[in-house]
Amino acid sequence: MSHDLSLAQSHAFQLARTLMVSVTLFQVDGEFGVLPSDELDDADVVVVHEYDPYQFGQAH
């Protein structure tokens, strides 16, 4: 978990590209976290953004 949104966004994007699965950046209790989107289920969190690794083309 992180309190820094820009750091969490960077890690979420890199995780999506590494795992090649969609990940969700979420906020709970003032902190940010990242999980693969299919593992988030019905958690009581605020979704900030979902990162799709295929949205920006192939990784270089």
pLDDT of res. 25: 96
Give the pLDDT confidence score for residue 55 in this predicted structure: 84
In tens, the pLDDT along 9-46 reads 999 999 999 999 999 999 999 999 999 999 988 778 89
What pLDDT band is residue 2 in, cutting at 50, 70 and 90? confident
DSSP string spanning 25-41?
EEEETTEEEEEEHHHHT
User: How far apart, in Å, are the Cα atoms of 13 and each of 5, 26, 44?
Assistant: 12, 13, 22
